[in-house]
Chains A and B, each alone.
Chain A
Amino acid sequence: MLLLPKGNPLFENMAVSKLKLPDIIAKLRNGSFTGYASFVFQTSTAVLVFEAGRLFSALVEDENSMRESGFQALSSLAESMVTTGSGALNVYTLSKDLTMCFYALLEGEPLCKDQNLTLIDINAIHEKIKIDKMNGCLRIFTDEHTAIVFYKEGNPLGFFHDGDREIETSPTETQKIAGMPGAKIDLFSTKNASELAEANLLEFINVQEIWDACVALHKSVINITDTESQELAKIIVSQQLAELEEMVKSIVVDSVGRIGRGIVDKEISDNGGNSCLVDADRAEKFMKGIERTAKLLVSGTNSKVMMERLSSALTGVDSEF
């Protein structure tokens, strides 16, 4: 799960369902926004990182921690916005330096991954960060806790812990996590701010087209789904009618004998198919037809019993369809 520190909130918990991704991005771009926008859905979270209105990072992480970035991330985000009908948008402003560190966290180059703290010299790593004047972040984590240290040109900018969601200046909590058994580290480096200033996903990705494609696809899926639903409903109704027809046949066969199946088939055919069994007017004609034919084959008593059974079988059935 993406745990990100809050910056200065511009919007929080805004419903995504009524928003359009191209409009959001245009607004942030035109406002020369620096910071990040997070889109929180039930099964995924998307983060768009902006610096002076330029989108230089787009990342989507699903519930299985699978990540997508760039074009794929924007496509996934657009799809989630169009299809889920829920989700919340949070927009936070950050300083230019922290934004760069965010980029490192999200898409930086991993220099060190899943390294057990007991097996490495953490002081040497700190020394290397300082000497190399590294931009990036150091993530220290156990199975249950995470702390992130952001660096700019080798100097720590602040500390973030998964509990409080605020950038802190005190390293105390971070040191605690580092001291826990089984603690590991990841080290990500990124370009400096001036190099990042050249990156802008919006220059080569047309968000409007992605959005339009997602909307069109969603509409077609809805249409297909509607058609499939109608087909399914038809199949279900047809199965229920077939079961009803079989029940009617068994009643008639009980009284008239096996010839009863043919009688029912003929009357159903004469009355426009087995849907006549659930249509009050046609069911009445069907019953009269059955009675008329049965009278030629069975006694009046048997015919009466059969008609009573048929009547009770078909009474109220129309409301079920």
Chain B
Amino acid sequence: MDKFLELLSQMNPFELVKVISWGVAGAISFYFSVGNARVWTSISIGFFLIFLSQAYGINPWTHYQKLTAYHYIVGAAAIMTITHGFLEYYVFCRTFEMPGNKLIVYLTALGILAASGALLIVNPTPSPNTIRNIKMVENAIWVFLCIVNIELIRKIYSTIRDSDISKGFIAFGIVFVCIFLWRGADLYLQIYQWDQDWQDIITLMTEESSDIEEYMGRVEFSREVIRYAGVLSGVSVGGAFTYMYKLLK
């Protein structure tokens, strides 16, 4: 517990707020998945998984590199689960069919997490470079699937425009715009090797140089976007689920 509190006190305030906001969002979304229809399960579970992926900041065991890598893999699984959920919702809007049940969704999510864990266990301990690669792949998946989700939400909204919950989907659209900015900015830094992880790697492990000093303006701007959009994403997810809950009440 002492170690955990120490970790919290060392955290960047923005990171702390972001983790807390994702914690709240995760709790709300999980509660939403339990108390609502099957069609919301994948979406809710997905958002809850984001919290798990973001919780590495407060995880006292992140010095275990496999555990750090696991957070990022869970992040990728989260957005894929969310996208699957919105796709299900869109199919539901067109066919009014909703096969399967909640338990299967929960078990499948657990199965994916277990399989991801197994993948890390059977493989060598990831190097910082490998962890960074996993993180970059996660960001790439997030950016791509954010665009897919925004389009799905647009289509869902146009289908159920005059129903009670249509405005709730606008809220989810805002969520994905925030996430797109957050993850997109992070990916941008990674692609140009201006991210902190790369800077640490080249400082400690290689003799490579970086051109980050030449582009400090855009790097700082991207970092600000990551900070604010990350917090806003967590807050907006909690808000969107709360709003949706109110609309469905």
Known: A256-B163, A257-B162, A262-B96. Is A299-B249 also a contact (CB below 8 A)? yes
Chain B positions within 8 Å of A263 at CB level: 96
Chain A positions within 8 Å of B211 at CB level: none
How far apart sit A293 and B98, CA to CA, in the bound complex (Å)?
A: 9
How far apart sit A262 and B92, CA to CA, in the bound complex (Å)?
A: 11
Query: Are B249 and A300 interface neighbours, CB within 8 A?
Result: yes
A134 contacts partner chain B, Cβ-Cβ < 8 Å: no
How far apart sit A262 and B160, CA to CA, in the bound complex (Å)?
A: 11
How far apart sit A298 and B164, CA to CA, in the bound complex (Å)?
A: 5
Query: Are B248 and A299 interface neighbours, CB within 8 A?
Result: yes
Most buried by B among A257, A267, A292, A300: A257
Say which size band chain A's interface belongs to.
10 to 19
Chain B positions within 8 Å of A257 at CB level: 160-163, 166
A221 contacts partner chain B, Cβ-Cβ < 8 Å: no
Query: Are B37 and A295 interface neighbours, CB within 8 A?
Result: yes
Chain B interface, >50% SS class: loop
Chain B positions within 8 Å of A267 at CB level: 96
B1-34 with Cβ < 8 A to chain A: none
Known: A297-B163, A297-B165. Is A266-B249 also a contact (CB below 8 A)? no
Chain A positions within 8 Å of B162 at CB level: 257-259
With both beta carbons as reference points, the residue of chain B lying nearest to A302 in the complex is identified as: B164
Chain A interface, >50% SS class: helix
With both beta carbons as reference points, the residue of chain B lying nearest to A290 in the complex is identified as: B96
Query: Are A259 and B93 interface neighbours, CB within 8 A?
Result: yes
Query: Are B160 and A266 interface neighbours, CB within 8 A?
Result: no
How far apart sit A262 and B91, CA to CA, in the bound complex (Å)?
A: 13
How far apart sit A49 and B159, CA to CA, in the bound complex (Å)?
A: 83
Query: Are A259 and B164 interface neighbours, CB within 8 A?
Result: no
A296 contacts partner chain B, Cβ-Cβ < 8 Å: yes
Most buried by B among A257, A258, A263, A297: A297
B95 contacts partner chain A, Cβ-Cβ < 8 Å: yes
A290-312 vs B, CB cutoff 8 Å, 1 = contact: the mask equals 00110111111110000000000
Query: Are A298 and B95 interface neighbours, CB within 8 A?
Result: no
Query: Are A293 and B96 interface neighbours, CB within 8 A?
Result: yes
A249-286 with Cβ < 8 A to chain B: 256-259, 262-263, 266-267
Chain B positions within 8 Å of A266 at CB level: 95-97
Query: Are A296 and B92 interface neighbours, CB within 8 A?
Result: yes
How far apart sit A211 and B164, CA to CA, in the bound complex (Å)?
A: 73
B209-249 with Cβ < 8 A to chain A: 247-249
Known: A262-B96, A266-B96. Is A297-B160 also a contact (CB below 8 A)? yes
Chain A positions within 8 Å of B98 at CB level: 296
How far apart sit A295 and B162, CA to CA, in the bound complex (Å)?
A: 15
Query: Are A299 and B92 interface neighbours, CB within 8 A?
Result: no
How far apart sit A258 and B165, CA to CA, in the bound complex (Å)?
A: 13
Query: Are B159 and A259 interface neighbours, CB within 8 A?
Result: yes
29 contacts between A and B (CB under 8 A): A257-B161, A257-B166, A258-B161, A258-B162, A259-B93, A259-B159, A259-B160, A259-B162, A262-B96, A263-B96, A266-B95, A266-B96, A266-B97, A267-B96, A292-B37, A295-B248, A296-B37, A296-B39, A296-B92, A296-B165, A297-B164, A297-B165, A298-B165, A299-B165, A299-B248, A300-B248, A300-B249, A301-B249, A302-B164
Q: B residues engaging A (CB < 8 A)?
A: 37, 39-40, 92-93, 95-98, 159-166, 247-249
Q: A residues engaging B (CB < 8 A)?
A: 256-259, 262-263, 266-267, 292-293, 295-302
Given contacts A298-B165, A299-B247, A299-B249, list 20 more A-B pairs with CB under 8 A. A256-B163, A257-B166, A258-B161, A259-B159, A259-B163, A263-B96, A266-B95, A266-B96, A266-B97, A293-B96, A295-B37, A296-B37, A296-B98, A297-B160, A297-B163, A297-B164, A298-B163, A299-B165, A300-B248, A302-B164
